[in-house]
Chains A and B, each alone.
Chain A
């Protein structure tokens, strides 16, 4: 069965520290990969996406993610976080076989001063 696993439900981190949010997915077909962010009381918005080409993808607000096909992972990173990055982050995978998008359960990033 197709599934998306976000390995950490919550990640507390101090301001200006680096952070990595992990995402793994099951796959037997080609995929498109996405990270969305949901700020408090707001809708989801796209951070970045991988469709093809370079495995390192840069997104908004200084975030980047690396597609690793052999490990079926798409981890999100930021070298230095800000208080304003406090939000919930969702990894999403679109399986090209059935064109269905599956979201992970989310990782709540909490940035402390």
Chain B
């Protein structure tokens, strides 16, 4: 089965510019997660969707970050405007069921560099 797809793999932008990342989860997976992984740190959950509804976005900086999951499949994460501290790898993951004990499958990530 195909894994979690993410694009682009790399992105370099200047501060105050906008950027968007795309994620296509594993087919049939109800839950989708976006994580931010800053160099030297573990992934930090930004937002979790169940189908097309938001389950948890408590750590999403809503003044500049937004995410949507239209039709409960693909998802887009946007940053507008970007700051230097947004430089990180953005990971998308999906899981089959709603239960938190379910295994999360991760995509390869998008490495963002903000200059």
Residues of A within 8 A of B (CB): 4, 6, 32, 36, 41-46, 49, 51, 90, 92, 94, 96, 99-106
Contact = CB atoms under 8 A, between A and B. Distances in A.
Interface of B: 3-4, 35, 40-45, 55-56, 58, 91, 93, 100-101, 103-109
A99 B91 contact: no
Chain A contact residues: helix, strand, loop or mixed: strand
Contacts of A105: 40-42
A4 B44 CA distance: 12
Contacts of A42: 108
A103 B108 contact: no
B91 A44 contact: yes
Contact of B109 (A4, A36, A43, A49): A43
A102 B100 CA distance: 12
A101 B93 CA distance: 12
Contacts of A45: 105-106
